[in-house]
Amino acid sequence: MTYSASVVGGTGFTGGELLRLLAGHPEFEIEQATSRSKANKTVGHSHPNLRELDLRFSDPEDLESVDVLFAATPHGVSMEQIDAFQDAADTVVDLSADFRLDTEAQYDEWYDGHSRPELLEKSEYALPELNRENLEGADLIASGGCNATATIMGLLPLFEADILSGDEQVVVDVKVGSSEGGAGGGAASSHPERSGVVRPYAPTGHRHEAEIEQFLGIDVSFTVHAVDMIRGASATCHVFPDGPVSKGDLWKAYRGSYEDEPFVEMVAGGGGVYRYPEPKAIAGTNKAEVGFELDPGNKRLVVFSAIDNMMKGSAGQAVHAANVALGIEETAGLDFQGLHPVGAP
């Protein structure tokens, strides 16, 4: 069976990734891509890697009826346009933050409020490794934030194996690429300003903390740095368990959670150059790399996780979730293995 699909907000980096994935997906047919600023221009005008697509951007006011609508719009847009999106499609997958959290109070605290709070309990978080069972048949899906996704992927097995209860101290440091700022960018994202930096841009109070707290039930000390790469989010989590933990305990926990997951690779101190998770190694893929190391002297556990922020952290996660929701083979359209060697991801 083939499903028709549209991408609202198709000129951004994530919109381009959605179009790339859907164009190569065996079960999806792209019917529409919208853009206010580039209406009537070809998709290749914004995404040169997609020049072969015979598709032009249309005005988002003229939505066509499709099976699945992917909304790659700025935060705040989807909650205002959700009625139009749901009128146009049986399944809506939103890649903004508009439906990720459970309550209106959370949006009042972390964002600028919410205009459609009655829909929050109806949306499903898109990360299959966390929420697969609830995604089946879902018609409103919220793709997770990239920094939250990287962090949750690293820490989740520790909670599933009861190594952590939620009362422990957890310090998370995330390094992110410039694509996280979107195609619009800004002064801080210009190449002369961004190149060569390791810049703390959210030392405290990053909005993605809300997702981590919601799904793991833990307060985290969370800091994000901008670094000199294009794609990627790399999370280093410093965890201080209440009791002793062995490497055997950790391998059992991580294998128990991820051994059968098609998009998770364990990279934990093996041989070669890439001994721990590295965004460069998985750029362009829907994979997450996860690893760990013990520091017995300080009673510390260090967890590493790496994703491509535009794939596992956004467009790839959205397509993966749509596959699950529609009963399509989970890996369909997401089998790109990545490249090595490559330059800055």
* Residue 40 Cα to chain centre, angstroms: 29
99 marked as part of a ligand binding site: no
Helix (H) or strand (E) holding 110: helix 104-110
Specify whether the CB–CB gap between 306 and 232 falls below 8 A. Answer: yes
> Which residue(s) pair with 289 in the sheet?
265, 306
Tell me whether residue 13 is annotated as binding.
yes
DSSP string spanning 217-268?
A: ----EEEEEEES-SS-EEEEEEEE-SS---HHHHHHHHHHHHTT-TTEEE-S
147 is annotated as contributing to ligand binding: no
Which residues does the annotation mark as catalytic? 146
Pick from 320, 331, 288, 325: nearest CA to 147: 288
Residue with tokens 């993966």: 320
Say if residue 14 carries a ligand binding annotation. Answer: yes
Residues 136/317/282/13 CA torsion (nearest 10 deg):
160
* Residue 2 marked as a ligand binder: no
Sheet holding 3-8, edge to edge: 57-58, 28-34, 3-8, 66-71, 89-94, 140-142, 124-125
Non-local CB neighbours of 228 within 8 Å, separated by 6+ positions: 194, 195, 196, 197, 198, 344
Which of 340, 269, 250, 263 has its CA nearest to residue 307?
A: 263
Sheet with 300-307, strands from edge to edge, namely 198-202, 221-227, 169-176, 233-240, 300-307, 288-295, 264-266
The CB density around residue 74, as the number of other CB atoms within 10 Å, is 13
* CA 124 – CA 131 distance, rounded (Å): 8
Cα separation, 43 vs 268, whole angstroms: 40
| Binding positions | 11-14, 309
| Binding positions for NADP(+) | 11-14, 309
